[in-house]
Structures are given as C-alpha cells and as structure tokens.
Amino acid sequence: MLQGFYRPRTVAEAATLLAGDPDAKPIAGGATLVAMLNARVIEPAALVSLAAIDEIKGISVMADGRLRIGAFTRHSETAECTLPMGASAVVRHAASEIANATVRNMGTIGGSIAFADPALDYPPALVAAGAEIEIASTQGTRHVAAAEFFLDWYVTALEPGELVTAVLLPAPPDASGRGVYIKHARVAGDYATASVAACLHADGTLRVAVGACGPVPITDDTANALLSGDRSDATIRRAGELLVQHADPLDDVRGSADFRRQLIPRLLLRAVRSVEVPAGGRS
C-alpha cells in the first residue's frame, strides 16, 4: 500500500530515500506511473518525487562538448531544443513524435527510458545516437551505453536503489550530421507499431536502430557497415533483411508480428532517404 511520499531537492537525497526502501519508486512526470496507479496495476510502498531536483532538469552543453539532457527534462523541452545536435537530432525528432502536446508537457526522458516500454520513441533514437545513460545511487554515479541499458521487456540495467539522472549525447563532431526518427503508428499520438531511428555523420557513417519490434531496440553492425558504404536500394534492402532477422515482435492491437516484420525494411528505406536529404534549418 502506498504509504509515503517524498520530495527531495537533490539527487543524493533521492538516492538515500530509494536505498532505504526497496519498494519505493521514483516518480518523474507521472504520465505513465499515475495512469498505472489509477488503473491499480502498481502499488509502490512509497513515491520519491523527482520534481524538485533542479540538477536533473534541462539541457546543457558539457565541458567536453557532449549534450546533457537531465532526466527530469520534459519531452516538449527536448523537442523544442535549439542547441546544435548533429546526428543526435534524432533524439529531438523522437521527442517531438511522442503522444501529443499535453503529454509531452508532462513526461520526462528519464521516466520514459526507466519504464522501458519497447514501443516508446526514445529507445531506438538513443541507441542509434550512441547515447549514454547516467545513473546515480548512494554508491555514486555510473554510465551505461544506451545499447546496454535496455535489457528486456520493461527491464533495464537499473539496479534496485538506482535512478536515471541524465542522458548524454555524443558531442556533435559534425554540424552537418543529421538524425531522423520515422515512426509508423495507427493514428497520430499512438505508440509506435514499428519505428526506425537513423543517424548520419559527416564522415558518411550511418547508424540505425529499430523500435517496437522486440524487447529492445534492434541494431546490427553489418547493416550499419553496409549502409555506411553505399545506400542503393539494394543495399538498404539487404540491411533491412539483416535487421528483420533480429526482430521478435508481438501480435497486438497495433499490428501483427508479421506486419511489423514487413514494416521494418519500408521504414528503413524512408529513414535512410530522409536522413540523406538536407532539410532547411534542421541540424
């Protein structure tokens, strides 16, 4: 039964509270957690609100040029970010595709990825961008690559007592790098039936990740190498076949597993063609 509510002002205080009660859960924007409370699907013993912790809010440029998106940064703020992002703009694009304007005003990047629903928009974008997840606990801070953060359906590398404090995006080495996120959904604002994130760097390297087609975002080193070499229709088809081999999609209300497998090469083609085209103003 929910018996406690805490509103710490620092990450250290939050970590101490979480360490002291294994059944306590952090709450960020609440967009998913409160919906689950309302539906009585979860019943944490206590909630540790992250809403008053200023050190995990907002987007900043770190000393080494990387971008730091604090865990309590709302999707709307990430979607509206005007900092140059290079290929990491895929994360901004994904943020702008989440649900609808009102939910984007509530949900946060940390809450989203800690929940790790495979149909969410951030996971493939973060994997394609080569993001790192910053994690804190009473033991200190550690970093996990996005590709190693998502482990299974709703399972992440977070250990009990840990919380996400930031997402770190690689320094844009190339202002001309580009990133796009292509999502197929039944209607605007729905979760993805399938999605593809693509990051094109100035040196021609292309990295892609597929979302919503298995427990974790799908990547394939050979597919990335092929797409970094040439981007003919035939090569994109071959890369699509490689990615489909890793797919383990569900049959659900958003589409059959088979339909999702057929979406992957099509979304990949759109993502690659779209990331190649210089778009006015979007870096």
Contact residues for another protein, defined by CB under 8 A? 1-5, 7, 27, 30-31, 34-35, 37-39, 47, 49, 51-52, 76, 99-103, 105-106, 188-189
CB of 229 to another protein, least distance (A): 38
CB of 105 to another protein, least distance (A): 4
Secondary structure class of 5 (helix, strand, coil)? strand
CB of 26 to another protein, least distance (A): 12
Q: Which CB sits closer to another protein, 47 or 239?
A: 47
Q: Which CB sits closer to another protein, 13 or 248?
A: 13
Q: Which CB sits closer to another protein, 192 or 223?
A: 192
Q: Which CB sits closer to another protein, 55 or 174?
A: 55
Q: What is the 3-state secondary structure (H, E, C) of 108-152?
A: EHHHHHHHCCCCCCHHHHHHHHCCEEEEEECCEEEEEEHHHHEEE
- Rounded CA gap, 72 and 28, in Å? 6
- Rounded CA gap, 81 and 27, in Å? 24
- The tokens describing 150, both together, are 């998502």
- Neighbour-count burial for 47-83, b at 16+ CB within 10 Å, e otherwise: bbbbeebeebbebeeeeeebbbbbbbbbbbbbbebee
Q: Which CB sits closer to another protein, 27 or 244?
A: 27
Are 169 and 66 spatial neighbours (Cβ–Cβ below 8 Å)? Answer: yes
Indicate the Cα dihedral angle 224, 144, 178, 100, nearest 10°: 110
CB of 35 to another protein, least distance (A): 5
Q: Which CB sits closer to another protein, 108 or 219?
A: 108
Instruction: Calculate the CA 130 to chain-centre distance.
Output: 11
CB of 188 to another protein, least distance (A): 5
CB of 45 to another protein, least distance (A): 10
In sequence order, what are the residues at sequence separation of 6 or more whose Cβ sits closer than 8 angstroms to the Cβ of residue 259? 193
